[in-house]
């Protein structure tokens, strides 16, 4: 691991007038002015054991050493004078002392940087550090890299913004893309992906609605998507299959998490995942036992994870482990990419549902299909919405609703029992992913399953 002395020498690039702070989990070191204004964020070094992570996040033109190798990210606060030069100096000193390379090329120097003195710090900066703009309601991050991942630094910003009751607005150029884990982390409003329209103004990178900076935040100014959002769309043969499922387990010292995700991965790709971590880049070799140990150490707080597969079987997942009144829950979102529609293994979903019901405590699973990039990244233009393919209900909920009611929904295709005949789950086929009417069928199914069971008189 890079020695503490080497890190200290690199962080000393701004001289003794700067101060260092560390986030609660130690994942990010911050260089601040004496007045407390954040200048540069330096992520704690990660030892990368997972092949192809550098190429996945930085592009095919990057040639990293063979794993394992060390990775750290350095980010300047764009609004702070001297911060960019300071970040370059940190990178230059690290590579001079330790070897290695920087990305993008040329983003390193070794000169000592003098940061201008400032009379004070941005109000609230200690609540959400190292962001570019901070208001009472919003933390704004400006980013210009081609592909934005869910780094440890950005994860920390999400948590800090939520703790201070602020939205996080991520501002990028129109040609930027997000990784699937970052797209999932952004979630619904008030967080936003704000895209700078090359024709002027801003729009939401997920919905396309035009945005404007008003009262310290980005607000919608209309309902019609921006032209730049719709103009970038083009028909594609590529497909994304997404499984969103939950498993619940009885708390037990012998419990090993991650096995449901591994079973789904093997069922659909023929191989297990190759790596996992708490952010991107994913750094650890796949190990359900180590994943379980981390979740147990963090309990009762939830644990968020990112899981990746081999580059020749495009797949990525996010997993949230939490304690609930029913037990230990795993909420998993697994997305797989395919070059052509005929490559999507829709016929494997029923047998997968049976495996998850029988062996892994499945409670629900929704499978959807969409026309979208095989590499699973999210562009800042319109893509067709996902279309439901199937829904699976686990034995516990079937028993609660009643088998007679759950097995007779108002949809065209009747459900198929999966798992044990004594305590079956039900698998509901909804289509092949080409008919938007499948959403209507799913809504009817949901309303039917939520209908209270009549009480006998």
DSSP 193-207: EEEE-TTSSEEETTT
pLDDT in 10s for each residue of the chain, 457 residues: 666 556 666 666 666 567 777 776 667 787 887 777 788 888 888 999 999 999 999 998 888 889 999 999 999 988 888 889 989 988 998 888 888 899 988 888 887 787 776 655 555 555 676 899 999 999 999 999 999 999 988 998 999 999 999 999 999 999 999 999 999 999 877 999 999 998 899 999 999 999 999 999 999 999 999 999 998 778 899 999 999 999 999 999 999 999 999 999 999 999 999 999 999 999 999 999 999 999 999 999 999 999 999 988 999 999 999 999 999 999 999 999 999 999 999 999 999 999 999 999 999 999 999 999 999 999 999 999 999 999 999 999 999 999 999 999 999 999 999 999 999 999 999 999 999 999 999 999 999 999 765 545 4
β partners of residue 214: 217
Q: What is the pLDDT of residue 28?
A: 79
DSSP β-ladder status, 167-173 and 138-142: parallel
Instruction: Kindly report whether the global pTM for this prediction surpasses the value 0.95.
Output: no
Q: What is the pLDDT of residue 418?
A: 97
Q: Which helix (H) or strand (E) holds 398?
A: helix 395-401
H-only helix segments in 146-258? 152-163, 180-186, 227-231
How far are the Cα atoms of 79, 153, 175 from residue 129, in angstroms, in the given order? 13, 10, 27
Q: What is the pLDDT of residue 294?
A: 97
Residues 203-223 as b/e (b if ≥16 CB within 10 A, e otherwise) read: bbbbbbbbbebeeebbeeeee
């Amino acid at each position: 691991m890079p020695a503490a002395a080497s890190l200290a020498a690199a962080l000393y690039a701004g001289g003794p007038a700067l101060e260092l702070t560390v986030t609660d989990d130690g994942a990010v070191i911050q260089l601040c002015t004496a007045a407390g204004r954040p200048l540069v964020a330096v992520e704690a070094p990660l030892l990368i054991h997972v092949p192809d992570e550098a190429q996945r996040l930085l592009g095919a033109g990057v040639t990293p050493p063979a794993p394992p190798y060390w990775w750290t990210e350095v980010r300047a606060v764009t609004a702070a004078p001297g911060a960019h030069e300071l970040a370059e100096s940190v990178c230059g000193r690290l590579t001079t002392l330790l070897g290695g390379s920087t990305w993008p090329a040329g983003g390193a120097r070794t000169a000592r940087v003098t940061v201008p003195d400032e009379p004070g710090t941005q109000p609230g900066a200690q609540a959400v550090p190292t962001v570019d703009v901070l208001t009472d309601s919003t933390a704004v991050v400006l980013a210009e890299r081609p592909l934005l991942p869910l780094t440890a630094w950005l994860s920390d910003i999400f948590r800090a913004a939520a703790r201070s009751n602020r939205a996080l607005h991520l501002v990028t150029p129109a040609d930027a893309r997000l990784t699937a884990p970052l797209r999932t982390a952004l979630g619904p409003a008030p967080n936003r992906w704000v895209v700078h329209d090359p024709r002027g103004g801003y729009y939401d990178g997920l919905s396309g609605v035009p945005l404007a900076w008003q009262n310290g935040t980005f607000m919608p100014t209309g309902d019609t998507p921006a032209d730049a959002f719709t103009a970038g769309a083009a028909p594609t043969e590529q497909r994304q299959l997404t499984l969103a499922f939950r498993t619940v387990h009885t708390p037990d010292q012998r419990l090993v998490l991650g096995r449901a995700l591994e079973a789904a991965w093997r069922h659909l790709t023929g191989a297990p995942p190759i790596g996992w971590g708490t952010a991107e880049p994913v750094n650890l070799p796949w190990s359900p036992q180590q994943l379980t140990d981390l979740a147990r150490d963090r309990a009762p707080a939830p644990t968020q994870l990112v899981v990746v597969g081999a580059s020749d079987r495009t797949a990525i997942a996010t997993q949230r482990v939490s304690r609930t009144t029913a037990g230990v829950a795993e909420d998993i979102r697994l997305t797989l990419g395919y070059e052509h529609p005929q490559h999507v293994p829709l016929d494997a979903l029923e047998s997968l549902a049976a495996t998850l019901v029988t062996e892994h405590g499945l409670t629900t699973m929704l499978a959807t299909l969409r026309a979208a990039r095989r590499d699973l990244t999210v562009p800042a233009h319109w893509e067709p919405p996902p279309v439901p393919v199937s829904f699976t209900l686990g034995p516990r909920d079937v028993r609660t609703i009643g088998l007679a009611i759950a097995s007779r929904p108002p949809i065209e295709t009747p459900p198929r029992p999966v798992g044990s005949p004594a305590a079956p789950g039900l698998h509901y086929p909804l289509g092949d992913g080409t008919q938007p009417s499948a959403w209507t069928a799913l809504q009817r199914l949901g309303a039917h399953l939520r209908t209270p069971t009549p009480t006998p008189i």
